[in-house]
Amino acid sequence: MDVSKQDFVVRDPEFRARVQGSFDRQGFMKLIGAEITGLEPGFCEIAIDHRPELTQQIGLFHGGVMGTLADTACGYAAYSLMAAQDSLLTVEYKLNIMGPGDGERLSVRANVVRAGARLTVCEGRLYIEKTGIEKECGLVTATMMRLPDTSDMPD
Amino acid sequence: MDVSKQDFVVRDPEFRARVQGSFDRQGFMKLIGAEITGLEPGFCEIAIDHRPELTQQIGLFHGGVMGTLADTACGYAAYSLMAAQDSLLTVEYKLNIMGPGDGERLSVRANVVRAGARLTVCEGRLYIEKTGIEKECGLVTATMMRLPDTSDMPD
Amino acid sequence: MDVSKQDFVVRDPEFRARVQGSFDRQGFMKLIGAEITGLEPGFCEIAIDHRPELTQQIGLFHGGVMGTLADTACGYAAYSLMAAQDSLLTVEYKLNIMGPGDGERLSVRANVVRAGARLTVCEGRLYIEKTGIEKECGLVTATMMRLPDTSDMPD
Amino acid sequence: MDVSKQDFVVRDPEFRARVQGSFDRQGFMKLIGAEITGLEPGFCEIAIDHRPELTQQIGLFHGGVMGTLADTACGYAAYSLMAAQDSLLTVEYKLNIMGPGDGERLSVRANVVRAGARLTVCEGRLYIEKTGIEKECGLVTATMMRLPDTSDMPD
């Protein structure tokens, strides 16, 4: 039997600069020190190094940092497929934390699973790196909404 | 018909100091400037004032800040009912963002819905305050796991 | 401080007949024997009696029955506020099962939390009744999408 | 860099018979006509043919049928890795519906993502087959809890 996978359509050939520009305008990404480490049509990876400012009560990566990276990576995976004049917003995301954020570096790799006219569904995996070994530590699914003809910049 | 609601049992009369102490050890709460503004058995409210460091690309509260507060408020609502020697971790949370984080102050009010022997289920609402008017802007549900006889402090 | 709650607008005064008619066209509701037991603007209750055909491996209500009722009650809570010419679809739902489906009757009470132009967010509680006592056994949140000018009937 | 994937441990070499036996005791699976069509350590596929009894208001597969198959496939993917004397329960699941259930056959393929001592996290994809072409129509993530030394049979 044939399985029909969705082919991703790149509506904006300048999507890399558009995504990076949007990311750079996020004050929260600067505060926490996250960076985009991978970007393809329908895919985004974001990573962050451990610092005491990013921890929960026993010194591991805070669940909120995991959620923030997960939401953001899903958002930009979706945004990579949108048109130059679109903006987007997060409808919802769910994060399953599968292991402690115990390591030097946290990263999220998010993929678009389905890009609809309005809604895009993404899935991502979170990885924690400790002494050179990476382990999956989280699973995220998210719904993003395209806002046609909406500025992605402040007023 | 009678509806049997779960009565909350306070296992640790010093729960307020225990919760606040755990919160104060979270480097991430200090970084973002969040504070506990309400705490009762099975309930926790956390709030934060708007700063450019907490924003997404057009200057509103970042969805990751919403998720962070939601996760943390659910966690401490659950932790308020636990014993002195318990720690806890987040199993999963889902955040529905119902409106933009457009305002001066963001808060989350989280309640325990069901406190089981191992797992506690919480629900919370997010509120954005703008010029003195508060609006619901998010809905969170979360599962927390009790870790019996586990230190809530760094090694 | 004032909290601004969303007022529900009833766009279709015949919403009760419209919801019941849509429900009655669902072959799956007939198969499982569910019925609408409460309906108000932004609210829907659906209940079902225990039968061996609705069980999991040890004879309790199957989690899929819980999820089905949860999805359907959220859907019709949302649909009660829509216009006569609208249809709707489920974008996503998450069910937290908080206790076993051990009883004679299962019901879900779902409320609209936020009715947007396109997306409606709902929350519901699941109750299991055993020997006249009801207990909360589940928590659902769902996102529904309005389909304007779309028939809710088969072609 | 090395990525450390979790190796699945098969604790019960008779897991196929144990899973199938548990499935066959589910009255709800018989009612809806579902069958296990694939089973490996950490993997389960369940499928069902279209019938008018499984539909929503316009004749497509009901979202509750999607959720039921998703929950059940995740459960048995997890259960395949458990010991002979274990039972399990669903803690939570979230279903993103990505396309209409418009076709002759619906199937779910679920994989264990992380098998912990107590909690197992699963992910599954839903597929709808229409005139020989399969399309992804849903995405599920679920948390299952192992119940050690608990009978999986009715009392």
pLDDT, tens digit, for every residue of C22-44?
A: 999 999 999 999 999 999 999 99
Q: How far apart are CA A24 and CA A30, in angstroms?
A: 8
CB contact under 8 A, B91 and D118: no
Amino acid at A67: G
Q: How far apart are CA B145 and CA B141, in angstroms?
A: 14
CB contact under 8 A, D91 and B145: no
Residues 44-63 of B with CB under 8 A from A: 51-59, 62-63
* Chain A interface test: which of B56, B128, B140 (most A C-beta within 10 Å): B56
pLDDT (0 to 100) of residue D6:
73
Q: Which chains, if any, share at least 3 CB pairs under 8 A with chain C?
A: A, B, D
Q: Which chains, if any, share at least 3 CB pairs under 8 A with chain D?
A: A, B, C
Q: Which chains, if any, share at least 3 CB pairs under 8 A with chain A?
A: B, C, D
The two three-digit tokens of residue A63, written as one number: 């669940």
Domain chopping of chain A, boundaries: 15-147
| pLDDT above 70 as % of chain B | 97
pLDDT (0 to 100) of residue D4:
64
* Superfamily name with CATH number, domain D15-147: Hotdog Thioesterase (3.10.129.10)
**Chain D nearest-CA residue for A114:** D98
pLDDT (0 to 100) of residue C5:
65
* Chain A interface test: which of D98, D105, D122 (most A C-beta within 10 Å): D98
CB contact at 8 A, C101 and C34:
no
If you average pLDDT over residues C63-78, what whole number do you get?
A: 98
CA B9-B15-B16 angle, to 5 degrees, is 130
pLDDT (0 to 100) of residue C25:
96
Top-confidence residue, B137 or B2: B137
A117, pLDDT greater than 60: yes
CA of D33: how far to CAs of C51, D65, D128, in Å? 16, 11, 16
C111, pLDDT greater than 90: yes
Q: How far apart are CA A153 and CA A23, in angstroms?
A: 11
State the nearest Cα–Cα gap between C45 and chain B, in angstroms: 16
Residues 80-139 of C with CB under 8 A from A: 91-92, 94, 118-119
CB contact at 8 A, D96 and D136:
no
pLDDT (0 to 100) of residue A5:
66
Top-confidence residue, C154 or B60: B60
pLDDT (0 to 100) of residue D154:
84
Residues of C in contact with B123 (CB under 8 A): 123, 139
pLDDT (0 to 100) of residue D90:
96
Longest dimension (CA), chain A: 52
Facing residue for A133 by CB, picked from D2, D94, D96: D2
pLDDT, tens digit, for every residue of B87-121?
A: 999 999 999 999 999 999 999 999 999 999 999 99
pLDDT, tens digit, for every residue of A1-59?
A: 556 667 899 999 999 999 999 999 999 999 999 999 999 999 999 999 999 999 999 99
CB contact under 8 A, C64 and D53: no
pLDDT (0 to 100) of residue A3:
60
Q: Which residues of chain D have pLDDT under 70?
A: 1-5
Q: How far apart are CA B149 and CA B13, in angstroms?
A: 17
CB contact under 8 A, A134 and D3: yes
pLDDT, tens digit, for every residue of D76-85?
A: 999 999 999 9
C86, pLDDT greater than 60: yes
Interface confidence (ipTM) of the complex: 0.94
C7, pLDDT greater than 90: no
